[in-house]
Structure 1
Amino acid sequence: MSVVILYGTESGNAEIVADSVADVLTNYDPSIYDMSDYAVEDLDAADFYVIICSTYGDGELPTGAEPFAEELDEHKPDLNGLKFAVFGLGDSIYDETFNHGGEIMAKKLKDLGATQVGEHGRHDAASTVKPTTQAEEWAGALTAVIDSVSA
């Protein structure tokens, strides 16, 4: 089982986090794609997906995630059998929309039949913890989840 990391970013933070997660998941030969460059038709249930998504504006998807989300809405692919995990980036100062970008992507995928596994990681920009540090710890715990779904 290969790991495909898809990131949606506005300012580049999600891309940096995606690289850090890939460094932890090297045993799974991860590939990394900007969501704006990844076609929905390329989603494959034989792979495991890691979604890394920031939140922008008033709890919206970042510009980098919008084309992928729109393509999901337009084509409505059957994603039964597809497994994914989510790590979101946000700022708790925006209480009602904190980490909403990751939640939006998770809902879109689940509504099409995909299964979210593992803990939904949520980084808080208001914390003193670097997003890469938290993401690396999250990815370390995710290895057991990936192993269990690929067995």
Structure 2
Amino acid sequence: MSVVILYGTETGNCELVADAIADVLASDHDPSIYDMSEFAVEDLDPADFLVVVCSTYGEGELPTGAEPFAEELDDVDPDLSGLRFAVFGLGDTVYGETFNRGGEIIAGMLAKRGATQIGEHARHDNSSAVKPAKQAAEWAESISGLIDAVPVN
């Protein structure tokens, strides 16, 4: 099954995480990686599995790289019924209530339009000693079997 990996980043860390996820998923799936700022909402296809990698910026906002995609989701307001997705968020617990809010915002926007979130919503903590790409690779292993196992509606 084709897997579309979209990343929204401020500093570039999400692109590295997206690469780590793609490396793991490539053994059983066909992953493609796109910067959210360059991906059109109309290209979302329920036949694909969507993986979102998103950081948090400022006081719990989306990073600059995710804003165009989020704005287009609001403008187009597509019916995403049948689309399945998983989320890997990046944040820092130093920011308390806004920790990993970027991934949560995108997940909420997709779910509001009928998409179904699959698997654990991963939340990397930049204050931890765990490198984001390492956590992402382990998380990708955990969702790999779910990509084909859940029937498309």
Q: Report what 1:115 is aligned to.
A: 116
* RMSD of equivalent CA atoms: 0.9
Q: Report what 1:22 is aligned to.
A: 22
TM-score w.r.t. the length of structure 1 is 0.98
Structure 2: any 5+ residue segments left out of the alignment? none
Shift of 1:150: 5.2
Q: How does 1:1-151 map to 2 (within 5 A)?
A: 1-26=1-26, 27-149=28-150
Aligned residues: 151
For residues 48-84 of structure 1, give each alpha carbon's deviation from its aligned partner in whole angstroms, at most 9, with x where no partner exists.
Answer: 0000000000000000000000000001000000000
For residues 12-49 of structure 1, give each alpha carbon's deviation from its aligned partner in whole angstroms, at most 9, with x where no partner exists.
Answer: 00000000000000021100000000000000000000
Aligned amino acid, residue 11 of structure 2: S
Runs of 4+ more than 6 Å apart: none
Q: Secondary structure at the match of 1:44?
A: coil
Aligned amino acid, residue 103 of structure 2: G
Percent identity, aligned pairs only, is 69
TM-score w.r.t. the length of structure 2 is 0.97
Shift of 1:147: 2.3
Shift of 1:144: 1.4
Q: Secondary structure at the match of 1:57?
A: coil
